[in-house]
Amino acid sequence: MLVIAGLLPALAFLFILYRLDRHREPPGLVFRFFLVGAVVVLPAGIAERTLLDLYSLTPDPQQGFIYTMISAFFVAGVVEEGLKALCFLRLVDRKPFFEEPYDGIVYAGAIGLGFAAVENVLYVTSSGIDTAFVRAFTAVPAHAVFAVIMGSRFARARFFGASRWPAFAIPALLHGFYDAFAMSQGYVWNLALAFYLMVIVAYAMHELRIEKQRELHYRRS
């Protein structure tokens, strides 16, 4: 039951992204990238643990604000979003099945939510069903947001000549802010996290609308 509770939110968000696609991608291919994202959890965890261990070896490492910022931005944000972006670049970008702007969101969503699913299961099985409920409305939607933005920016790079850097940089920065709020203790920080989630979800929905419009324009051109 705990495993199912951990998996369901990520699968639900992926289903939504998939259903929004007017010309749906092969389900088997989408699921393959979901599994890719799931596997990425292992190297991400090793890299993050290694970086934090190296930081702890520095003279008098601070466990307060500086430690939170390093953990949030330079460990979680850079490592996790960097590995997701690398998977997209190596396995999706420039491939023939990436043929429309919205495809980038579907495939990035599959990778990001595969990652979120395994991460969520690990948290839920170690902390209980209450964690599953909280993360269903916080961490999993956040991963969906990062994936939507990543896929949208990769699509702009492929079809409209934009730079690829924002596809990594924007999700990494947003991820860093999310973790910084989540790692901070106190009622005010919890309110800040809730407000931040509403803002980035609105931003992701804006990106979705743009890519749907670009998809229509791309098909007509």
> Tokens 């934009």 identify what position?
162
The pLDDT score that the predictor gives to residue 185 is: 80
Three-class DSSP category at 131: helix
Lowest mean pLDDT of 61-65, 98-102, 111-115, 158-162, name the range.
61-65
Average of pLDDT values for 19-28?
90
Average of pLDDT values for 57-85?
84
Query: CA distances (Å), 220 to each of 24, 151, 159, 193, in order?
Result: 18, 21, 14, 41
The pLDDT score that the predictor gives to residue 60 is: 59
The pLDDT score that the predictor gives to residue 23 is: 84
Cβ-based neighbour number of residue 134 at 10 Å: 13
The pLDDT score that the predictor gives to residue 90 is: 96
pTM: 0.92
Cβ-based neighbour number of residue 53 at 10 Å: 9
The pLDDT score that the predictor gives to residue 211 is: 79
The pLDDT score that the predictor gives to residue 57 is: 60
Write the DSSP string, 91-108.
Answer: HTTT-TT--SHHHHHHHH
> Tokens 């979800």 identify what position?
201
Contacts with 29 (C-beta within 8 Å, 6 or more apart), sequence order? 97
Q: What is the pLDDT of residues 54-67, one digit of tens each?
A: 877 665 556 677 88
The pLDDT score that the predictor gives to residue 110 is: 98
Average of pLDDT values for 136-156?
95
Do residues 208 and 155 make contact, with C-beta atoms less than 8 angstroms apart? Answer: no
Terminal CA-to-CA distance of the chain, rounded, Å? 49
Question: Cα torsion at 147, 44, 165, 65 (round to 10°)?
Answer: 100
